[in-house]
Structure 1
Amino acid sequence: MNKFWIILFHTYFNKLKTKSFLITTLMMVIITLALTNLNNIIEVFDKDSGKEKVGVLDEKGQLYKPFKEQMSSLNKNLQLTEFAGTEKEAEKAVEEGEIAGFVLLRYDDQQLPEAEYKAMSVADSAIYTDLQSGLQQMKTMLAASKINLTPEQLNQLYEPVSFKKVALEENAKTEEELNQARGLVYVLLFVIYFAVIMYASMIAMEVATEKSSRVMEILISSVSPIKQMFGKILGIGLLSLTQLAVLLSIGYFSIKRNMSSLEGGFFDAFGFGNISLSTIAYAVIFFILGYFLYATLAAFLGSLVSRIEDVQQMITPMTLLVVAGFMIAMFGLGKPDSPFIVITSYIPFFTPMIMFLRVGMLNIPVWEAALGISILMATIIFFAVFGARVYRGGVLMYGKSNSFKDIKKALQLTKKE
């Protein structure tokens, strides 16, 4: 057992001290701090408290005031100012940066307002959309006054229809709870997806690196393949937990420090304000099981190659399985109870993401989640046993290796020993 711990901690500390790990962790920390301090960063870079200054040229002198009233309720960060000069002078003001753009207001043939917006670039669709919405509302008001509609009648005409959603299933989540769960599951799916790809690839690279240096020939004769393979898997797993612990700790303290600026926005919209313990528990379970499933696959696939350059080619099918699971989960965010999602949640390669999607968004029976976990654990055990046999023969294979036929060769070498 001592040899197992030696391999585990050797893998862990070796990777912990590498420049690539330290740089990756630092970059992730910077991204985490940037996301949790996004509002503060925007305030630093935004001039005039984020307000865009737009000029208004009113040809008849009658449209500016009602237009400004409409815009004040639509976009408070849009600062409208009446431009007293000509259209050419307004264009010059835009070119010199005095204003972001200007709106030319006039009447059409039916004496209803129309406009033209000019700016150096019309890439900022938010400004254009808000200006168009404000003009549309003003046009509606003027058209209603022409046919003698009162403001009350107009409000009644445009009042949204009452449409309630009621779930008949017992303990079904409300629409608000579903929206929050959808955002939370969306974020956690990304964490599972990127972690599995990154750390599983790291295991394959670790095996291929040692094999290319011929260290494997010495190790395989003194340590059993299961101890060696799982020593590396758990070593990298411990490394991933270290990295995640650093990121979560920094993210937690940064969010706590900026809680007032995050409330009511991204933080609440993505459901982080009220995460249930069961969701956290399922996220941890499916993250760990998903990691072990793909880590085991990556270990024996990495043992089949002799050169580091061949690793990515060999693990590409595994990566495509992770991508497929993630894409199915993205589809499932809109239809978590569809038969396709239910069926694929029991396919072990997709279970970590899709079953987590279902337990996060729906109140499914406990036995369904337990069945998915059991299938996943059975698959991990199968690949652990099968992978250990491939691993033992694969690490003794040298030369060009770019085909899955090499699995058969590895198994034959294992039998000969």
Structure 2
Amino acid sequence: MNSFWIILFHTYVNKLKTKSFFFTTLLTVVIVLALTNIQNIIHTFDKNDGKEKVAVLDETGQLYNPLKKQLSTINKDITLTLYKGSLEKAEKKVEKGDYSAIIQLRYNDEKLPEASFKAMSIADSALFTDLQTSLQQVKTMLAAAKIQLTPAQLQKLYEPVSFNKVALEKNAKTEEELNQARGLVYVLLFIIYFSVIMYANMIAMEVAIEKSSRVMEILISSVSPIKQMFAKIIGIGLLSLTQLAIFLSVGYVSLKQNMESLKEGFFGVYGFGDIPVGTITYAVIFFILGYFLYATLAAFLGSLVSRIEDVQQMITPMTLLVVGGFMISMFGLGKPDSTFITATSYIPFFTPMIMFLRVGMLNIPAWESLIGIGLLIATIIILAIFGARVYKGGVLMYGKSNSYKDIKKALQLTKNK
């Protein structure tokens, strides 16, 4: 057992000290900080501090004030300025950067407002959309006045229809709870997806590197291949937890500090104020089980190749399984209670993501999640037993090995030992 712990900590410490681990961690931390500080970064690079100044050429002499009033209710960062000069002079002001855009107001043949919008570039659709929406509201009010609708009648006309959602299922989640669950599941699904791919690939590469350098021949003379396999899996598993702890800690602290500025975007719709402990618990369980499932698979697939160049080809089907589970989960975010999602959540290679999706978004019976966890554990044990036998023979195979027929050869070598 002592040799097992030596290999485990050797794998963990060696990977922890590598430049790739340091730079990957640093780069990811920078990305996390950038995402959680996105509003501050945008304002830093925006010379107008996020504010837009628009010149208004009002040919009617009547539309400027109503438009300004309507726009203030939509976007207070857009400032309208009534421009008295010619269009040519206004265009030069835009070219100099004094104004972001020009809007010309006039009446059509029916005495209703229309406009032209001019800017250096029309790629910024947000500014145009806000101005268009404001002018549309002005037009609606004028049209209502022409057909003699009172303000009360107009308000009644545009009053949203009352349409209540009622879930008949006992203890079903509310709309607000579903939005929060959807956002949380969305984020955690990405963490599970990228972690499984990255760390499973790392294990396969680790085995292939040792084989290509002939280190394996020295190791198997003193330590059994099975101990090697599980020591590497657990060692890199600890490495993944170390890295994730850094990412989540930095992300959580930064998110808490910038929550006010992020309320209008993704985090405004999918709040993270009160994260259920049960959801986090299931996330940890399915992450660990998903890791061990794919790590075991990656270890014995990596043992079949002798060259680093062949690793990606050998583990491509495994990667496609992870991608498949992730894509199904993305579909399931919109329809978590569909029969297809329910059925695929019991397929072990998809369970870590899809069963977690169902647990996070639905109030499913505990026995369903326990069946999923049980199937995962059973599959991991089967893969571990089978994988250990393949690994034991695979580490002795050298030469060009990029076919799944090599699994049979590895099993035969194991029997002959």
Same fold by TM-score, threshold 0.5 exceeded? Answer: yes
Q: CA deviation at 1:399?
A: 1.4
Instruction: Report the TM-score when normalising by structure 1.
Output: 0.97
Question: What is the aligned partner in structure 2 of residue 30 from structure 1?
Answer: 30
Q: Which amino acid aligns with 1:125?
A: S
Q: CA deviation at 1:375?
A: 0.2
List aligned pairs for 1:30-49, cutoff 5 A: 30-49=30-49
Q: 1:233-382 to 2 correspondence within 5 Å?
A: 233-262=233-262, 266-267=266-267, 269-382=269-382
Q: Counterpart amino acid of 1:99?
A: Y
Helix, strand or coil at the partner of 1:274: coil
Q: Is the 8 A contact 1:53 1:81 kept in 2?
A: yes
**What pairs with 1:43-58 in structure 2 (closer than 5 Å)?**
43-58=43-58
The residue aligned with 1:228 is 228
| 1:404 CA drift (Å) | 1.2
RMSD: 1.4
Whichever residue aligns with residue 312 of structure 2, its letter is: Q
* Higher mean C-alpha deviation, range 261-270 or range 361-370: 261-270
- Could you tell me which amino acid in structure 1 is paired with residue 139 of structure 2? K
Q: Distance in 1 between matches of 2:49 and 2:155?
A: 33
**In 1, Cα distance between the equivalents of 2:127 and 2:82?**
17
Shift of 1:61: 1.5
| Greater Cα shift, 402-411 or 179-188 | 402-411
Aligned to 1:111: 111
Residues 71-103 of structure 1, C-alpha deviation per residue, up to 9 Å, x if partnerless? 111111111111212122222222221111111
**Alignment correspondent of 2:97:** 97
CA deviations 1:298-337 (Å, max 9, x no partner) are 1111111111111111111111111110000000001000
Deviation larger for 257-266 or 351-360:
257-266
The alignment partner of 2:412 has SS state of helix
Structure 2 gap segments, 5+ residues each: none
Pairing 1:51-70 to 2, within 5 Å after superposition: 51-70=51-70
Structure 2 residue aligned with 1:384: 384
Q: Counterparts of 2:170 and 2:227 in 1: how far apart (Å)?
A: 48
Q: What's 2:163 paired with?
A: 163
How far apart, in 1, do the equivalents of 2:193 and 2:3 lie? 32
1:9-35: CA deviation from partner (whole Å, max 9, x where unpaired): 110011111111000000111112222
Measure how far apart 1:363 and its partner are: 0.4
Alignment of 1:160-239 (within 5 A): 160-239=160-239
Distance 1:263 1:72, change over 3 A: closer
> Which residue of 2 is the match for residue 127 of structure 1?
127
Give CA deviations for 1:180-210 in whole Å, capped at 9, x if unaligned: 1111100100010011111111111101000
- CA-to-aligned-CA distance 1:142-200 (integer Å, 9 cap, x gap): 00000000111001000100000000010111111111111110010001001111111
Aligned letter for 1:192?
Answer: I
Q: Which runs of 5+ in 1 are unaligned?
A: none
Q: Distance in 2 between matches of 1:144 and 1:257?
A: 47
1:71 is the counterpart of 2:71? yes
The alignment partner of 1:387 has SS state of: helix
Give 1:65 shift: 1.1
Identity %: 76
Indicate the SS of the match to 2:221: helix
Q: 1:251 Cα shift?
A: 2.4
Alpha-carbon distance in structure 2 between the residues aligned to 1:86 and 1:256: 49
Contact 1:182/1:270 (8 A) holds in 2? yes
- Once the two structures are superposed, residues 334-353 of structure 1 have per-residue CA deviations (whole angstroms, 9 ceiling, x without a partner) of 10000000000000000000
Please give the residue correspondences for 1:133-152 in structure 2 after superposition, counting only pairs within 5 Å.
Answer: 133-152=133-152
User: For 1:222, what is the secondary structure of its paired residue?
Assistant: coil
Aligned length: 417
Superposition deviation, residue 360 in structure 1: 0.2
CA distance in structure 1 between the aligned counterparts of 2:134 and 2:349, rounded to whole angstroms:
50
Please say if residues 267 and 273 of structure 1, whose CA atoms lie closer than 8 Å, have aligned partners that are also in contact. no
1:375-412 deviation line (CA, Å, top 9, x unaligned): 00000001101111111111111112221111111111
CA distance in 2, matches of 1:167, 1:264: 28
Alignment of 1:391-406 (within 5 A): 391-406=391-406
Q: Distance in 1 between matches of 2:68 and 2:77?
A: 12
Per-residue deviation, 1:49: 3.0
SS class of match (1:103): strand
Deviates further, 277-286 or 220-229: 220-229
For residues 262-285 of structure 1, what are the alpha-carbon distances to aligned partners after superposition, in whole Å with 9 as ceiling and x for unaligned?
A: 567644533311101100100000
Give distance in 2, aligned partners of 1:382 and 1:232.
18
Distance in 2 of aligned mates of 1:160 and 1:177: 23
What whole-Å deviation, never above 9, does each CA across 1:33-64 have from its counterpart, x for those lacking one? 22232333233223333101111111121111
* 1:118 match: secondary structure: strand
Kept in 2: contact 1:220–1:392 (CA 8 A): no
